[in-house]
Structure 1
Amino acid sequence: MRTARIRLTSTDYKKLENVCGELRAIAEKTGVKMTGPVPLPTKKLRVPVRKTPCGQGTPTWDKWEMRIHKRLIDIDAEERVMRRIMRIRVPEEVFVSIELM
């Protein structure tokens, strides 16, 4: 039996968890073996920016941060399961990559 490795990436944690829940529900309904979702390390992108545009005065800084959350799911790649996975409505903020192993 082949397995499908699904990688989910998003900046919005709640929408990512909703998609993981939908995948878990599909696996439970069809009765296939599923491992995950495994939380991968969160990537933090930080950008320090000077508050004053002219460069005069006290140097004060704003710090902006974007967090990228990732999940990894392995699921048995039966044809009916893969068709159901392809029909899931995925929000724009969530990026999905599927790799057959």
Structure 2
Amino acid sequence: MSMIRIKMWGTDLDTLNHFTNSILKIIEQLGIEKRGPVTLPTKIIRIPSMRTLGKRGTKIYETYQMKIYRRFIDVANDERFFKSYFINMQIPSRGFRISLKILK
């Protein structure tokens, strides 16, 4: 049976965990085969910027960073899950992305 990989990533860890737990709850209610959730390494994006010139012309830098948290779940390709729940699911709009991929 083919599997579908649900890959999620976002900047807010609480939102990502809440969304992952809601998917897992529905999968357990329907009794669908699953693998995961698998936690991928956190991606950290760092942006250095020059704040000001200090005394005697020395450069002072500040570093801003953004963390991107990632998870994926492999779910058996079952129509009940996608028709009943996944189409009507409310996905958080800000700082959250989701993708689906069919695995053979």
TM-score, normalised on structure 1?
0.90
**CA root-mean-square deviation:** 1.3
Following superposition, the deviation at residue 59 of structure 1 comes to: 2.1
Cα distance in structure 2, aligned partners of 1:59 and 1:73: 46
Q: 5 Å matches for 1:15-30?
A: 15-30=15-30
Aligned residue-pair number = 99
User: Aligned residue for 2:102?
Assistant: 100
Which 4+ stretches in 1 moved above 6 angstroms?
none
Note the residue ranges of structure 1 that are not aligned, 5 or more in a row: none
Is residue 2 from structure 1 mapped to residue 2 from structure 2 by the alignment?
A: yes
CA distance in 1, matches of 2:87, 2:96: 14
Residue 86 (structure 1) aligns with: 87
Task: In structure 2, give the amino acid aligned to 1:71.
Answer: R
Structure 2: runs of 5 or more not aligned: none
Q: Percent identity?
A: 29
Shift of 1:56: 5.5
TM-score after normalising by structure 2: 0.88
- C-alpha distance in 1 between matches for 2:17 and 2:42: 14
**How far apart are the structure 1 equivalents of 2:96 and 2:26?**
18
Partner residue in 1 for 2:40: 40
The code of the aligned residue for 1:95 comes to R
Larger strand share, 1 or 2: 2
Which amino acid in the other structure matches residue 4 of structure 2?
A
Query: Does the aligned pair in 2 maintain the 1:26–1:85 contact within 8 Å?
Result: no
